Amino acid sequence: MITISESKKEYIFEEDRDFESCHASTLVSVDKGDILAAWFGGSWEGNPDVAIWMARRTGDGWQRPFVAADRWCVPQWNPTLFRRPDGRVLLFYKDAKTIPEWKTMVKYSDDGGKTFSEPRQMIREGMLDRGPAKNKCILLSDGSIAAPGSTEPSGVDIWDSFVDISRDGGETWELGPFIPVRRVDKRARHFAYDPKMCYGKGLIQPALWESRPGHIHGFMRSTSAAIFRSDSTDGGKTWCCAYNTGLPNNNSGIDLVKLDGGELVLVSNPVGWDWGSRTPLTLSCSDDNGKTWKEIFVLENESGEYSYPAIIAGENEILLTYTWRRERIAFWRLRVSR
């Protein structure tokens, strides 16, 4: 089991910022040890002035944030960053006035995030929106990219998760099936509680890892007060029925990363009720492919919102960001010891 031997917390920006509110951060390592982070910011989530903002951390600290994606009077949402093995950085984000209308847009950068291309829609018009819903894509052992997505359609009390696969660096995508889940309507009063069932709308925002070639796993946010899990043994073509891990979830975002030593590190709000408090925010570790977990670090435990974490791993270190009271994006660098 790993331990955290050193830790350093920073804020990507302080009170001198160009937006009132911010949320849903993402980060990626680029050339020369620099780090890119992105989030959405504006007057408030879903308002017409909300854009995708980005900042770069060099050896001298965080540079001033700049607008990376915007559209007049249309809010932008939930960016995710991914760096291909050839160095190209992909920025995915959602574009629409409401969540059910989301379209996943993608830009790319070939200079480490200094400049980005014009946006294009990830999947053509007329199809159900695909693309990362919150959490990062992962590179699979065969060189493919797995993108964790989910849907929150209008007028239907159903949330579904899926994983799409690209075999050409994100240019085209093979659309995966919805991850099976057994649902019970929370409004029904005749049922006896069954931990195998998901109560309410369902599951969104998968966080992925690959344990060995072709074996992909996902943890998902749920409306059932717990993190749910599904597994694929055929590279994402099919998935087992999602099941309750017993880990508490407050129906807020989670993320995890697999370290070089094989350990998994999960960042979450361990609060076991639907739409529960978004504090505390903690790190937990598993060294048995996610079967059992041990808390190893507390990031935040005061009152307030500390949510929507994003986590990546470097050499013997963990890097992560999250929403800090909707006012700032917090960044941590944590040294790992074994």
pLDDT band at 189 (very low <50, low <70, confident <90, very high): low
Instruction: Give the residue among 257, 205, 210, 203 at the shortest CA–CA distance from 232.
Output: 210
Cα–Cα distance measured from residue 181 to residue 196, given in angstroms and rounded to the nearest whole number: 9
What average pLDDT does range 90-97 have in this prediction?
Answer: 98
Burial 86-101 (b: 16+ CB within 10 A, else e): eebbbbbbbbbeebee
Between residues 188 and 38, the one the model is more confident about: 38
* Whether the predicted pLDDT of 155 surpasses 90: no
Give the pTM: 0.97
Count of domains observed in the chain: 1
Domain hosting residue 181, numbered range:
3-337
Predicted pLDDT of residue 186 = 75
Element (H, E) at 306: strand 306-314
Cα–Cα distance measured from residue 108 to residue 113, given in angstroms and rounded to the nearest whole number: 8
Cα–Cα distance measured from residue 9 to residue 306, given in angstroms and rounded to the nearest whole number: 14
* Whether the predicted pLDDT of 214 surpasses 80: yes
* Whether the predicted pLDDT of 7 surpasses 80: yes
What are the two backbone dihedrals, phi and then psi, of residue 110, each rounded to the nearest 5 degrees? -110, 10
Q: For residues 53 and 66, is the Cβ–Cβ distance under 8 A? A: yes
Between residues 123 and 29, the one the model is more confident about: 29
Q: CB under 8 Å to 264, separation ≥6 — which residues?
A: 209, 256, 257, 258, 285, 286, 287, 289, 290
What are the two backbone dihedrals, phi and then psi, of residue 45, each rounded to the nearest 5 degrees? -50, 130
pLDDT band at 154 (very low <50, low <70, confident <90, very high): confident
What average pLDDT does range 248-255 have in this prediction?
Answer: 98
Cα–Cα distance measured from residue 273 to residue 202, given in angstroms and rounded to the nearest whole number: 14
- Which CATH number belongs to the domain containing residue 79 in this structure? 2.120.10.10
Rounded percentage of the chain residues whose pLDDT exceeds 90: 92
Predicted pLDDT of residue 242 = 97
DSSP 27-62: EEE-GGG-EEEEEEEESSTTSTT-EEEEEEEETTEE
pLDDT band at 156 (very low <50, low <70, confident <90, very high): confident
Cα dist from 315 to 8, 151, 162, 254, whole Å: 16, 34, 30, 22
What average pLDDT does range 242-246 have in this prediction?
Answer: 97
pLDDT band at 127 (very low <50, low <70, confident <90, very high): low
Sheet holding 120-121, edge to edge: 76-83, 89-95, 103-109, 120-121
Model pLDDT for residues 296-328, shown as the tens digit of each residue: 999 999 999 999 999 999 999 999 999 999 999
Cα–Cα distance measured from residue 70 to residue 50, given in angstroms and rounded to the nearest whole number: 8
Predicted pLDDT of residue 190 = 60
* Whether the predicted pLDDT of 41 surpasses 80: yes
What average pLDDT does range 202-224 have in this prediction?
Answer: 98
Mean pLDDT of the chain: 96
